[in-house]
Structure 1
Amino acid sequence: MASESSRSPDPFRRHYEVERELAARLRNSTRAERPALFATLYGELFARIPDHPRLSRRDAPEYVRGKVLSQLRLLRPFLKADTVFLEFAPGDCRLASAVAPQVRRAIGADISDQRTPGEASPPNLELIVYDGYELPVPDATADVIFSYQFLEHLHPDDVDGHFTMVRRLLKPGGVYVFDTPHRYSGPHDVSRYFGDELVCFHFQEWTSNGMRRLLARHGFTRIRAFRFGKPLSSRVLNMANDLLELLAGLLPFRIRRALTSRLFASVAMVAQR
């Protein structure tokens, strides 16, 4: 299986240069231009970088199985037989297919259909292909909304709109469960091998404190971070986390990234409407 560390230097740099070029197109686009770019940019990336790690991992059974299991660990406390589950950017829909037998209805929302041709889907799983903005799902549909390694790919101008849409789609008391890379151990895209700025397809990465403030601004309540594999809400833990983030933020970039690679790998949270 190809990986970032096993690729030779020339293709590695080419991946960086191509992704930076394509990301600049998206970064400099208007909202009206973005739906067309969403539909083509990743296809162009994979066509120009045929050894892209995402392509090799997609067909690696052990990687796929491990990824689904790690996501299910986040979701299990919130899934019930009568749950309506919605996932943003489900990709190949492997997770949604694993969730579907445990819930009443599963919905995937993505900008393209990336499922393996001919692969059967559970009867209660629906994939909705949309333009990235107007999702034709009624208000207060979902009990649980999920995204994994997705928020960092949003255009900066689209972040607020995403959280507004999530809140619209959730039933009162419903929850948004997500995992996104932590800023201090990043960049987490190919940018990390060539500098400390996000210039490829990760447009932003957050601290836990920053994400809590963003969620609160959009009216979410009971915001809990996953710690030790469980969603915990504690003012003391939040204060300790914020102090560590404050101290880490004072460190030079390379030292900060080395020290926080395990402590702050990601921002995994659940927030309630």
Structure 2
Amino acid sequence: MLYTAVYNELFSLVPDHPQNVMKTSPRRADDETSRQFSILRSFINPNMTYLEIGAGDCSLAVQIANEVKRVYALEVSDEIARGVEFPCNFTLLLTDGVEIPVPPGSVDIVYSNQLMEHLHADDAFEQLSQVFRALRPGGVYLCITPNRLGGPHDISQYFDSTPRGFHLREYSNADLVKIFTAVGFRRFRFILNYKGLVLYAPIPLWPVLMYEKAIARLPSRLRKLFAYPLIGVKFIGYKV
């Protein structure tokens, strides 16, 4: 389990990693949990099963557990969530970073935030295939990831135009349409955000794809400037 070994070592040896810092700063953690919960609120109801990939310290998943029937939280490392008490409708699953060990068609909503860019492209495709398998018909996958057109967004930004650090690949919305379609998704939407303001109602994707196509032709500096409104891709795939 390469991802498990890498992230266990990262979290144990780097005390100032943002996820470790979040554990020691309750107010900051609460603010981040509230921000993400506000995005998810309109997608959940009490009869749902929720699955979060890359759940970190599980604070968001624990809060969601108060609102839904069942929660699965997937992680490659238990370092961050160690010592957390989980409610009775909550299951923490430690995986290899690709496998999603839940029954087929058992999940209503899948959520990941700042996860997909950390996977090798082949692993991302396999994981996405397993997400599609886990979802019920009508289920949704809300995937938040940095937009490639404004990147790279890891340490590579200081010395390269291609991700070379913990971000193995970054994606535009157009990139996500291609791979989501390849595993079986057929309907897509986008949540627009700009400078911390979020339009919570999903909007059609075609205006975003047209905007991306236009700015992709610009020189790097201009492209990054115009990509700023799309810096955090909030992409929704529906299983129909």
Q: Residue 46 of structure 1: CA displacement?
A: 4.3
Q: Does 1:230 align with 2:200?
A: yes
Amino acid at match of 1:138: P
Per-residue deviation, residues 118-151 of structure 1 (Å, max 9, x unmatched): 4322111110112223433211111111111111
- Whether the 8 Å CA contact 2:11–2:79 is kept in 1: the answer is no
Mapped pair 1:257 → 2:209: no
Provide the rounded CA distance (Å) in 2 between the counterparts of 1:51 and 1:84: 33
| Structure 1: gaps (5+ residues) | 1-34
Q: What are the within-5 Å matches in structure 2 for residues 105-144 of structure 1?
A: 105-144=70-109
Q: Which has the higher strand share?
A: 2
**Is the contact made by 1:222 and 1:233 (CA closer than 8 Å) also made in structure 2?**
no
Partners of 1:45 and 1:132 in 2: how far apart? 15
Distance 1:221-1:70 versus aligned 2 partners, 3 A rule: farther
Distance change in 2, residues 1:267/1:66 (3 Å)? same
Aligned amino acid, residue 229 of structure 1: L
The structure with the larger Rg is 1
Aligned to 2:212: 245
Structure 2 unaligned segments of length 5 or more: list them: 193-197
CA displacement at 1:117 relative to structure 2: 4.1
Distance 1:46 1:100, change over 3 A: closer
- Tell me if the contact between 2:11 and 2:80 (Cα under 8 Å) persists in the aligned partners: no
Q: Which has the higher helix share?
A: 1
Aligned partner (choices 9, 22, 28) of residue 44 of structure 1? 9
**What is residue 22 of structure 2 aligned with on the other side?**
57
Q: Distance in 2 between matches of 1:231 and 1:162?
A: 27
Question: Deviation digits for residues 152-184 of structure 1, max 9, x if unmatched?
Answer: 111111121111100110111111112111111
2: CA distance, partners of 1:86 / 1:70? 18
User: Which secondary structure does the structure 1 equivalent of 2:97 belong to?
Assistant: coil
After superposition, the C-alpha distances for 1:66-112 in whole angstroms (9 at most, x for unaligned) are 22122112211121111111111101100100000101111111112
Cα 1:128–1:47 change in 2 (3 A) is closer
Aligned to 1:113, the other structure's residue is in SS state: coil
Q: Equivalent residues in 2 for 1:22-41 (5 A)?
A: 35=1, 37-41=2-6
Is the aligned partner of 1:174 residue 2:144?
no
CA displacement, residues 161-214 of structure 1 (integer Å, 9 cap, x when unaligned)? 111100110111111112111111111111112222100011111111221222
Opposite residue 243 of structure 1, the aligned amino acid is M
CA pair 158-79 structure 1, distance change in 2 beyond 3 A = same
| 1:267 alignment partner AA | V
Q: Distance in 2 between matches of 1:191 and 1:208?
A: 21
Equivalent position to 1:218, from 164, 183, 186: 183
SS in 2 for 1:65: helix
Q: Please say if residues 223 and 233 of structure 1, whose CA atoms lie closer than 8 Å, have aligned partners that are also in contact.
A: no
1:151, 1:230 → 2: CA distance? 21
Identity %: 32
> Does the alignment pair 1:84 with 2:49?
yes
